[in-house]
Amino acid sequence: MLRPDVSLDDQQGVYDFYLDHQQNPLLARLAYAALSARYRPRVSFAPGAEESIRALLSDGTSLIIAANHLTDSDQYILAATAWQTPLRSAIGRTRVLAKDELFREPKLRKRIDMMGGIPVFRSKNHGLRAVSDAGRRMMEISAERVRRGDSLAIFPEGTCNTEDPARVQHVNSGIGHIASRAGKLGATPALLHLGISYGPATATVKSASVHVGHPVTEIPAKPMEIARTVQQHLQETVDEARRRY
């Protein structure tokens, strides 16, 4: 299938493409390894989390990974973290929700596609009414990718936190709708929360502190309940990442 321009005017074609798009796993692993060497995050785990993540992935369980959002480099920190943890085994089978403007410049789009990106048309850029259909379609294909066995990484706050990096912003219901839809399709994903801290200077993204929470396997049924669960656990991992910085 031809690679379409990522445009809201062609949202149907865009999401038809990303429903089946698959990056080269070898190139993805090389890129994740390079990002790990460049950014060198210091990763810590909740008690038993490392072993539980490894067991879940070994059993074929998809993970819906939620991380707080502080800078435009956060996706690279997540990739570097994946390389250093049991998440390495999911490289090449992980989708990453990313704002649509990252797909406009060809060279950058190539990198985002290689990392498993799925574009998100945000209301702050296009208006709520304009993106409503695209948002529903994005959640549908994200849930379907989870059903197929992919993991999914999301920054559920929806935008960078420029106010108070110590406090997780409001978690939007999108992550809840995706998890709920995946469940209705027959998937049994687990939620995984990653807290990122850059210490007192968020402009310095190297040597970030990243804390990985224990996977949540008992997921509520309703989207808003899922969003509240994510809010709670994400705040706990952010608190710990800041404490360990």
Give, in order, the Cα–Cα distances in Å from 174 to each of 71, 132, 157: 20, 12, 10
What DSSP designation does 63 have? Answer: E
Q: Quick check: is 2 in a domain?
A: no
For residue 191, what are the contacts with CB-CB under 8 A and spacing of at least 6?
63, 64, 66, 179, 215, 216, 219, 226, 229, 230, 233
Q: Please report the pLDDT score of residue 202 as a whole number.
A: 58
- Structural domain includes residue 3: no
pLDDT at 131 (0 to 100): 87
pLDDT of residue 66: 98
| pLDDT bucket at 124, cuts 50 / 70 / 90 | confident
For residue 194, the enclosing domain spans 8-243
Reference 69, options 77, 79, 81; nearest CA is 77
**Across residues 61-86, what is the average pLDDT?**
96
Does 95 reside within a domain? Answer: yes
Q: Are 149 and 93 in contact (CB under 8 A)?
A: yes
- pLDDT tens, residue by residue, 200-211: 765 567 889 999
Residue 193: strand pairing partners: 66
Residue 160 lies in a domain: yes
Residue 94 resides in a domain: yes
**Is the residue at 141 inside a domain?**
yes
Per-residue pLDDT at 122 exceeds 90: no
| Per-residue confidence (pLDDT) for residue 64, from 0 to 100 | 98
Tell me the per-residue pLDDT of 78-92, one tens digit each, with 9 for 90 and over.
999 999 999 999 999
The per-residue pLDDT for range 32-62, each reduced to its tens digit, is 999 999 999 999 999 999 999 999 999 999 9
pLDDT tens digit string along 84-117? 999 999 999 999 999 999 999 999 999 999 999 9
pLDDT of residue 126: 82
Please report whether residue 36 resides in a domain.
yes
Query: According to the model, what pLDDT value does residue 201 have?
Result: 64
CATH number at residue 61: 3.40.1130.10
C-alpha closest to that of 95 among 24, 176, 151, 33: 151
Higher-confidence residue of 1 and 163: namely: 163
| pLDDT tens sequence across 131-185 | 899 999 999 999 999 999 999 999 999 999 999 999 999 999 999 999 999 999 9
Q: Which two tokens stand for residue 76?
A: 């690279």
| Overall number of domains in the chain | 1
pTM for the model stands at: 0.95
Instruction: Tell me whether residue 77 is in a domain.
Output: yes
Average pLDDT, the chain: 94
